[in-house]
Every structure is written in structure tokens, then in C-alpha cells.
Amino acid sequence: MAFLTNFYAFLFYFAAFVLLAGLTRKIIQYAITPAPLKIPTTPAPTTRWGVVLRMVREVVLFESLFRGNKWTWIFGWTFHFGLFLVTLRHLRYFIEPVPYVIQLIQPFGIYGGIAMVIGLAGLWSRRFLVDRIRYISAYSDHLMLALLLGIGCTGLLMKFFFHVDVVEIKTFFQGLYRYEIQPLPADPLLMLHLLLVAVLMIIFPFSKLLHAPGLFFSPTRNQVDNPREQRHIASWAKKLEH
Amino acid sequence: MAKDTFAVPELTPYIEVPKIQPGAMAHSAPFKAKEEFQTPLGYPGERVEDWQKKAIAKMGELLGKYRSLRVYLDACVKCGACTDKCHYFLGTGDPKNMPVGRQDLMRKVYRRYFTLAGKLFPKLVGAVDLTEEVLNDWYSYYHQCSQCRRCSVFCPYGIDTAEISMAAREIMDSIGVGQKYCNEIIGKVYKVGNNLGLPGPALRDTLQGIEEDVYESTGVRVRYPIDEVGAEILLVTPSADFFAEPHIDGLIGYGKVFHEAGVSWTLSSYASEAANFGMFIGSYENMRRIALRIREAAIQLKVKRIIFGECGHAWRVAYSFLNTLAGPWDFLDPRYPVPQHICEFTYDLIQQGKLKFDKSENDDKVITFHDSCNVARASRMGDMPGGQFEIPRAIIRATCNHFYDMDEETIRDRTFCCGGGGGLLTDDLMELRVKGAKPRMDALNNVMQEKGVTHMVAICAICKTQFSKVMPYYGMEMDQVLSLHQLVSNAIVLTRRTDDEEMQDDLDDAD
Ligand code: HEM
Ligand code: SF4
Ligand code: SF4
């Protein structure tokens, strides 16, 4: 058993490192790459606050997607909102003492899990049913959905059918903070669930999951529409002026 | 038309999303630029030896210069929301004309050379080497994008395929694979001053002719000045306005508005072009070089304000980029935005009650309005977001009694491109242009049937030219497209001045 525990301890150190380092690298790369021209998709807000509001609507409501395709929006939003609730629910494993809001949210986290799985199933079915989306799907697009669906289903199975010792899981993760390796319950379903989560963390910075940070750096969405009032110029373009 | 070998699509009462037909437009590609059109822009005359290496290096360079490219190549989740938004896909069914399909042509190369996943598992993530075949696809399909940005409206991350098309064209130019139409035209701007290659004397001739015509038809001496030092306003307008119907009627309208405003204005023979094809080929340097001509003209002519005539992408470059490319404009009158659109100018005068119209002059027409993509989705007019939709419509309502919009899903920021933007307005792409116009023609046909619309007004030189050319394919007349300032020109009531009478007397005496 010690071997498995050690393996998972190492795996999560590694996954956390890759996720954080990879994301940081990408975010820095996005941040330092200049946007030399003003290209907001108009009509666009004319103030910073307006842009913040536009961004909030995109992140919380998927506003553009809503205008673009209702089915994808319904499934996509259900999945993400579910994922969000599930993530909040899982915070109980990582924070001690568990904050009051996180305690409150626990039951909703379960609905979130169900919503997530339904949303993913809907999204995946579109990849088969709609000829245009079938055409643009690579293996990786299918695998990504399979991975998330795998995480969701193993999670729900543990919740409803094959219970595991959640106290021990919490002890395991709390231990990792102090570089102490506490035993992990040797439950095959849990092993699979955690393995898939670690895989997700590792591929995050190398895959299309970069859409999450990417959105915040998208010039068509995050720029203020004020080119006549304020001169906007990138450093490399400035050099042309001499 | 008899020579055309393609079938013109049937018009439909609503947007029908076609089944995908892989390869349907693979044969479509514009003529390549020969050496004489490449070198003036600073590009190799023919495809360079080690083009593959050079192209990847250029791609790396652009990834470091344009955040849009970097983020957009990473962020797409293949959600498919954009797949049915491009007029070229709707008109052709070719899946590489779906915005994401078009992006993927570059994304799969990006993944192969610039991402870990693509280097390690190319098959898994759909990454490929930049082969001859891929380059051919690039040339073909990056010249089937009019850079209209309709896709970016609906994408959850605002991914703008236009940014990718521009980068692709810049990469291809840099290895000596350029497009004849755009590059030849840019060369003409450098040599002569405008896209059509009209030299100063020809412009002066045309303007004199216009002055005489307007005097003859109105009895009022409206001036159409050029190269007049010390005028208050520099008007920069697409060169088509000097040349062809219905563009020239727009120019006549601008002159009448300036006349009524009582301001002095001038055109410039040096900056006799509002269009800036540097944008279409994604070249910051060429775009800047063209834009700087306007700065030089403004300084030479000692003007106080700059106003742009009706042109879509020109207004994008003017509104969104001019300050960046050729600013700062601190030597101009700070009370006015730099630059202004002629519609903003006319609209302000209408608001102040300074223009009088006889709307019945346009009573023979029932009007609809085509939002040009670059005005709609890449710029603004006035102080409020969306002014680019309201201001032209307000001008139409002030000058016409009969106006109906097309279907909401096809106007404002959801407008469909005319099918000829982005450097595709060339005869060697006729099939693409006709098929790409279908969504707009559908919507137009519907208001023609339902509301009895007779004319469509546009504020873009490319739209006007494209519509005049493709409307006959759909059983409409080429003169059903009008300039906005043509309506203004028809309806405006000109104020007679004393020198008008004198001139009339002179003419009478001479009889
Ligand atoms: C700022 C946070 C995020 C935003 C605004 C966001 C937004 C979106 C949107 C609008 C879509 C397209 C619609 C859809 O297919 O669902 C999408 C797709 C997707 N998102 Fe997110 N997302 C975020 C975070 C995440 C995270 C943290 C994950 C996973 C760990 C994730 C996984 C996915 C996946 C797998 C897809 C593709 C679904 C498919 O294949 O159809 N997203 N996201
Ligand atoms: S920018 Fe316009 S033409 Fe280009 S892919 Fe998008 S919708 Fe199509
Ligand atoms: S809408 Fe955006 S994210 Fe979705 S497939 Fe198109 S480009 Fe990709």
C-alpha cells in the first residue's frame, strides 16, 4: 500500500508543479506579448469599467456563445457551472477548518457533479451528431471530454454507490502540505478518479484548456474602444518611428 | 458572365446552413504577385529557397509581436459556435471556410512547431508539418477570408479569424508568395497616390467636371477643391469616389454638405486614397507607410481637421489605427476627433439643424441599409458604442421617407460581409465573391419581396463595387446599390449665394 500512497503523493506534487509552473509561464507569455493595434470587436465599451463588465458577462454567462449557438451554450454552461460548484465542494479537502460557505455549498456540489456530467455528455454528442463539429474535432478533443467525463462519473459513483473514507483522503492531502505522506485509502475507484485529475492538471497548460486564461487576454474582448482619444502603441512599433 | 463555370446559389428565405462539402473551394486561389509587385513592398520576388524554415521563423516572430495570434492559436476549444457564421462557408459549404476550419490550417502548423503536445504527439492533436500541400491550402483559404470579423462576434473568446488570415498573408508575403491584387494596388499607392493609379491631373479634371455638373443641375456653385493649402478640412476618400457610379455620387454629396456647412475643405492628390490594403496583407509596415501619406498631406496642406469618406476598411484603419500608425495629431484642431467620418460630420449638422432636406427627392426609392463589416465590428462613429449603426440610419431617415432594415440577424454587428472585402475584390475570385454574397443577397431579396425595397445603401467602396458586380448574378440590377451621401446629395436643399446668381448672369449673357 505504501507504494501506491507514495506514488500518488509524488504524482500530485508533480501535477501541481506542472499546472502552476505551466500556467504561470503561459500567463507571463500572454502578458508580455504586445497587442500593437486596437482591435476590440465593436460595439465595445469605451471605459475600463465597461470592459470589466463585458468580461464578467463573458466569464459568467458566456454571452458571445449564447448569441452564437444555443445548444452549445446550454451544455457548455451547464458543464462549467457544474464544474465550478464541484470545485468549490472539493475545497473541503484542501482547507482546514472548512469555511462556512464551503460547508453550505456541499449539497449543491453534488448537483453540480450531475450537471457537469450531463453537460459533458451533451457536448460530446454534438461532436458526433453535427457534421461541422465532427469535422473540426481531433482525437484530443474527444479525449478531453472523455477525461472530464471519467472524472465526473468516478466521482459520482463514489458519492452514490461505492463510498470511500473521505476523512482519510483529507488527511492525505493535508499531509502533502507538510511534506508528510499519510496513507491513501486503497480504493480502485478513488485511484482512478485521482489519476484522471492529475492527468487533467498536467495537460492543462499544454492544451486547449488554455482557453480559461486566454479569454482574459483576448484583445477583441479586453480592449477599451478609445483609439481616437488615446494613442496606443506597442514598443516594437515605436521603434519604427525613428 | 457567360464564361463562368460555377452555379450561382439559389436564394433562400432564411439562412440555411449547408452540409459540409470538403474540398468544394480548393480550386479557388487568386493570381500570385510577380516580382514587380513584390519588391516595392519589401518582399522577395519569388518563393525563396528555404521557404519552409523562413515561414516558421516568421511565424515565431509574429507570435512574439501579436498577442491576438498567440492567444487565439492556443485558446480555441473547437466548440463550433463559429462554424456556421462565415458567409463563405454558408455560400460554399467548404469546411475550410468555417472560421475554425480556416484557423486550423495555421493552428495545426503552430502546434507542430511551437507546442509540446504537437511536437510529441502530432497525430493526437492534429498537428502537421508545413508542407507544400499545406502552403497551397493556406494560399487558397487565407484568400477566402474577407477579414470581416463576423466569427469573432460569436466566439466565446472573441477569436478573430481575420487576425489569423492577416498573419498568414504576412508570412506568405515574407517567403515570396504574395497576392497580385493587393500587392499591385499597394504599389500604385506608393507610386501614384491611390489604388486606382489616378494621377493628379486626372483627379483635377474629374473634380472640375463634377463642379460643372453640379452647377448645371442645381444652379449653385459647389466647389470640389484639391491641393488647396490652408483649407480647414482634409477629405480623404477612397479613389473609387473619383471614378465610378455609385461612388462618385457620394463624393458629390460630401461636397454639397461642406458647401452648406460653409467650411473650406480640400482633397489631396498625394493622399488621394482612404483605402489601406496594408491591413489586408497583415503588414504593419506597409499599413503604416500608407497611413503616413495622410499625415504628410495634412501637414503640407496646413489643415485643421481630417475627414474620411465612405469606405469600410478605410474607416477601420482611420478610426482604430490612424492614431497609432501616424499620430499623434497634436497639430490639428483639438476640438474635433481625429479623424472624423463624413457621416459624423453630416449627422452633427443635421442635429444642429444646419441642413435642409427635401425628402421627396428620394421618393422613387425604398431604401435598406447594408452595415459594412469593418464599420460595424471594427470601429465606431460618434460618442456612443453602436453609433456606427445609428448615425448612418439617422441620415437615411433624414433624407428619405421609405426605409426598412433587413432581418435583424443580418445587420448591425451581425451583418454579413458583401463577399468582396479583405482584398478579394478581384475578377480572379469571381466564384468566391458570388457565393460569398449569398447570405446578404438572401436578406436583401427578402426585404425586396416583403417591403418592396428597391435600393440598398452602403458606406463602403468595396461593398458598392462588389454589389454592383454580383447583384446581376442574382437577378438584380447593378444600380440598386447606392452611396449614402447620394441620398444626401439628392435631398439636400442648397443655399444660393450671390456669386451663384452672378455666374448665372454671366452664363445668360453669353447665350
Ligand atoms: C475562466 C474560466 C472558464 C471559462 C470562461 C470557460 C469558458 C468556456 C466556454 C465558453 C467554452 C465553450 C463552450 C463549451 O464547449 O462548453 C468552454 C469549453 C470547454 N471548457 Fe471551459 N471555461 C473556463 C474554465 C474551464 C476549466 C477550468 C476547464 C477544465 C478543467 C474547462 C474545460 C473546458 C472544456 C473541456 C471545454 C470543451 C468542451 C467541448 O469539447 O465541447 N474550462 N469553456
Ligand atoms: S473573418 Fe469573416 S470571412 Fe474571415 S473567417 Fe471570419 S467570418 Fe469568415
Ligand atoms: S467559436 Fe471560437 S472557440 Fe469555438 S470553434 Fe470557433 S474559434 Fe474555436
Could you tell me the strand order of the sheet in which B455-458 lies? Answer: B367-369, B455-458, B481-483
Nearest by CB to A35, from B68, B78, B378: name it: B68
Residue of A66, A41, A46, A64 whose CA lies nearest to B149: A41
In B, minimum Cα distance to A36 occurs at B66
As given in the structure block, the three cell numbers for residue B85 are: 457564421
CA distances from B42 to A3, A65, B188 (A): 64, 41, 14
In B, minimum Cα distance to A37 occurs at B321
**Chain A residues 185-204 within an 8 A CB cutoff of chain B:** 203
Residue nearest to ligand 2 atom 2, measured at CA: B148
Does the beta-carbon distance from A64 to B123 stay under 8 Å? no
A202 vs B contacts (CB less than 8 Å): none
Q: Is A133 on the interface with B (CB under 8 A)?
A: yes
Domain ranges of chain B: 35-185, 192-404+453-491
Q: Is A42 on the interface with B (CB under 8 A)?
A: yes
CA distances from B218 to A57, A228, B171, B256 (A): 54, 37, 52, 11
Nearest by CB to A233, from B115, B155, B324: name it: B324
Q: What are phi and psi of B305, to 5 degrees?
A: -140, 155
CB hemisphere CA count around B207 (13 angstroms): 21
CA of B86 to the centre of ligand 3 (A): 12
Mean pLDDT, residues B407-426 taken together: 97
Residue with cell 426605409: B403
Residue A121 corresponds to which amino acid?
A
Could you tell me the strand order of the sheet in which B305-308 lies? Answer: B265-266, B233-236, B305-308, B340-341
Q: What is the pLDDT of residues B475-501, one digit of tens each?
A: 999 999 999 999 999 999 999 887 776
Q: Is the CB of B162 under 6 A from ligand 3?
A: no
Residue of A173, A193, A5, A197 whose CA lies nearest to A94: A173
In B, minimum Cα distance to A57 occurs at B156
Tell me the Ramachandran region of residue B110: left when phi exceeds 0, alpha when psi lies from -120 to 50, beta otherwise. alpha
Report the distance separating Cα B224 and Cα A16, nearest Å.
70
Q: What is the pLDDT of residues B213-222, one digit of tens each?
A: 999 999 999 9
Q: Please answer whether residues B226 and B236 qualify as being in contact, where contact means their C-beta atoms are separated by less than 8 angstroms.
A: no
Report the distance separating Cα B268 and Cα B270, nearest Å.
5
Interface test with B, best of A56, A70, A135, A206 (most B CBs within 10 A): A135
Instruction: Report, as ranges of residue numbers, the positions in chain A whose pLDDT lies below 50.
Output: none
Residue of A133, A131, A68 whose CA lies nearest to B21: A131
Report the distance separating Cα A183 and Cα A175, nearest Å.
9
CATH number at residue A106: 1.20.950.20
A137 vs B contacts (CB less than 8 Å): 78
Q: What are phi and psi of A232, to 5 degrees?
A: -115, 120
Report the distance separating Cα B224 and Cα B238, nearest Å.
15
Q: What is the pLDDT of residues B446-462, one digit of tens each?
A: 999 999 999 999 999 99
Distance of residue B231 Cα from the nearest chain A Cα, in angstroms: 22
Q: What is the pLDDT of residues B111-140, one digit of tens each?
A: 999 999 999 999 999 999 999 999 999 999
Sign of the C-alpha dihedral computed for residues B358, B360, B363 and B366 taken in this order: positive
Residue A127 corresponds to which amino acid?
R
Mean pLDDT, residues B357-383 taken together: 98
Decide: helix, strand or coil at residue B369: strand
Residue of B485, B408, B472, B407 whose CA lies nearest to B444: B407
A229 occurs within a structural domain = no
Q: Is the CB of A80 under 6 A from ligand 1?
A: yes
Q: Please name every residue paired with B267 in a beta bridge, in sequence order, or none if there are none.
A: B226
Residue with cell 519588391: B39
Nearest by CB to B124, from A26, A58, A139: name it: A139
Q: Is A126 on the interface with B (CB under 8 A)?
A: yes
Per-residue pLDDT, B438: 97
Pairing of strands B305-308, B233-236: parallel
* pLDDT above 50 (res B432): yes
As given in the structure block, the three cell numbers for residue A77 are: 454552461
Report the distance separating Cα B62 and Cα B70, nearest Å.
8
Per-residue pLDDT, A142: 98
Report the distance separating Cα B445 and Cα B368, nearest Å.
11
Nearest by CB to A132, from B98, B324, B338: name it: B98
**Per mean pLDDT, which range of B185-194, B253-262, B401-410, B501-510 is the poorest?**
B501-510
Q: Is the CB of A215 under 6 A from ligand 1?
A: yes
Domain range enclosing A184: 2-224+234-241
* H helix and E strand count, chain A: 12, 0
Per-residue pLDDT, B511: 47
CA of B91 to the centre of ligand 3 (A): 20
Per-residue pLDDT, B38: 97
Q: Kindly report the average pLDDT of chain A as a whole number.
A: 96
Q: What are phi and psi of A130, to 5 degrees?
A: -95, 120
Distance of residue B440 Cα from the nearest chain A Cα, in angstroms: 18
CA distances from A76 to A73, A83, A135, B69, B388 (A): 5, 10, 19, 25, 32
Query: Does the model's ipTM exceed the 0.85 cut?
Result: yes
In A, minimum Cα distance to B115 occurs at A206
A139 vs B contacts (CB less than 8 Å): 123-126
**Per mean pLDDT, which range of B3-12, B303-312, B317-326, B500-509 is the poorest?**
B500-509
Residue nearest to ligand 3 atom 8, measured at CA: B76
Per-residue pLDDT, B507: 53
Is the bond preceding B225 in cis, omega lying within 30 degrees of 0?
Answer: no
Q: Does domain B35-185 have CATH number 1.10.760?
A: no
Per-residue pLDDT, B496: 87
Q: What is the pLDDT of residues B135-163, one digit of tens each?
A: 999 999 999 999 999 999 999 999 999 99
* pLDDT above 70 (res B504): no
Per-residue pLDDT, B498: 73
| H or E, element range at B23 | none
A133 vs B contacts (CB less than 8 Å): 78, 80, 83
Contacts for A90 with CB less than 8 Å, ≥ 6 apart = A109
Q: Please answer whether residues A1 and B122 qualify as being in contact, where contact means their C-beta atoms are separated by less than 8 angstroms.
A: no
A192 occurs within a structural domain = yes
Find the ligand nearest to B76 CA.
3
Mean pLDDT, residues B86-109 taken together: 98
Burial of B78 (0-12, 13-18, 19+ CB in 10 A): buried
Residue with cell 459594412: B372
Nearest by CB to B78, from A62, A136, A210: name it: A136
B383 vs A contacts (CB less than 8 Å): 46
Contacts for A189 with CB less than 8 Å, ≥ 6 apart = A154, A157, A158, A162, A164
CA distances from B119 to A87, B97, B115, B116, B416 (A): 32, 26, 6, 5, 38
Mean pLDDT, residues B31-37 taken together: 97
Per-residue pLDDT, B437: 98
As given in the structure block, the three cell numbers for residue B3 are: 464564361
Q: What is the pLDDT of residues A227-238, one digit of tens each?
A: 999 999 999 999
B155 vs A contacts (CB less than 8 Å): 64-65, 68
Nearest by CB to A218, from B157, B378, B413: name it: B157
Per-residue pLDDT, B187: 96
* pLDDT above 90 (res B14): no
Decide: helix, strand or coil at residue B293: helix
Q: Is A99 on the interface with B (CB under 8 A)?
A: no
Domain count, chain A: 1
Q: Please answer whether residues A4 and A184 qualify as being in contact, where contact means their C-beta atoms are separated by less than 8 angstroms.
A: yes
Does the beta-carbon distance from A218 to B75 stay under 8 Å? yes
Q: In the structure, what pLDDT confidence band is assigned to residue B2 with cuts at 50, 70 and 90?
A: very low
Q: What is the pLDDT of residues B338-354, one digit of tens each?
A: 999 999 999 999 999 99
Distance of residue B163 Cα from the nearest chain A Cα, in angstroms: 9
Q: Best substitution site from B98, B165, B416 to test ligand 2's pocket, by max atoms within 8 Å of Cβ?
A: B165
CA of B305 to the centre of ligand 3 (A): 41
